[in-house]
Amino acid sequence: MRKALIERKTGETQIHLSLNLDGTGKYEIETGCGFLNHMLELFARHGRFDIDCRAQGDTEVDYHHLVEDTGIVLGRAFASALGDMRGICRYGNFLLPMDEALVQVAIDVSGRPYLNYNMDIPAHKVGDFDCDLAEEFLLAFSRSIGATIHVIQMTGKNAHHIIEALFKGLARALKQAVAIDEQYAGDIPSTKGTIL
């Protein structure tokens, strides 16, 4: 079973997260940020990942530390659950339409963290969530999981739709990347013989 339990406690945040890569999309999410809850819930459902996340932080300042640290913990959980990456497809790519928004997400679980964030979100906030924090979440996640991630916004006018398309696309692309290739289930998907 590809599962992980990660806990992180700092002077700014306290996060407890469990992950099952081979789940059904069940989730229990409570971060103290309604919009982040929503994004993680749809991420779990569309990736078919079971996620239980309990997070709290210094939200009296803003949501920056909470969002960034949640990205760190989620990435660490994926890295832990994947182990040596044996048998995974490694690559995933998804073009996600969300009403007028269209976002493409491509991922390589390569051991090499990199984020190409080509997004043009036309608002500063969705509710009380700073739209800039979507990029901060992905930066933290890419570094912690050890993956190259490209996100490209093709169209979109509504900030909520654009960010939702991003998280759904990430989930769908990641689902492809971490899936086991049954034909090569015992192999490391690299000519080097190692991902890490």
Query: What is the spatial distance between Cα 67 and Cα 71, in angstroms, rounded to a whole number?
Result: 6
Q: What is the mean pLDDT of the chain?
A: 95
* pLDDT in the model for residue 196: 67
- H/E stretch holding 4: strand 3-9
The CATH number of 3-184 is: 3.30.230.40
Tokens 């969705």 -> residue: 126
From 150, 153, 152, 162, select the one nearest 39 (Cα to Cα).
162
* pLDDT in the model for residue 102: 98
* pLDDT in the model for residue 188: 75
Contact 73, 62 (CB under 8 A): no
With 80 as the cut, is the pLDDT of residue 191 above it?
Answer: no
Higher pLDDT, 195 or 191: 195
Query: Read out DSSP for 70-136?
Result: HHHHHHHHHHHHHTT-TTB--EEEEEEEETTEEEEEEEE-SS--EEEEE---S-SEETTEETTHHHH
* pLDDT in the model for residue 48: 98
* pLDDT in the model for residue 53: 98
Q: Domain spans of the chain? A: 3-184
Long-range pairs, 125-132, Cβ under 8 A, ≥24:
125/159, 126/35, 126/159, 126/160, 126/163, 127/34, 127/35, 128/33, 128/35, 128/63, 129/33, 129/34, 129/35, 129/36, 129/63, 130/62, 130/63, 130/64, 131/159, 131/163
Residue range 139-154, pLDDT digits in tens: 999 999 999 999 999 9
With 80 as the cut, is the pLDDT of residue 190 above it?
Answer: no
Distance linking the first and last C-alpha atoms of the chain: 20
In three state form, how does the secondary structure of 123-186 look? CCEECCEECCHHHHHHHHHHHHHCCEEEEEEEECCCHHHHHHHHHHHHHHHHHHHHCECHHHCC
Residue range 107-137, pLDDT digits in tens: 999 999 999 999 999 999 999 999 999 999 9
* pLDDT in the model for residue 183: 81
* pLDDT in the model for residue 16: 98
pTM metric for this prediction: 0.95
Residue range 43-97, pLDDT digits in tens: 999 999 999 999 999 999 899 999 999 999 999 999 999 999 889 999 999 999 9
* pLDDT in the model for residue 27: 98
7 is written with which tokens? Answer: 């806990």
* pLDDT in the model for residue 187: 77
Mean per-residue pLDDT, 160-189: 92
92 is written with which tokens? Answer: 């995933």
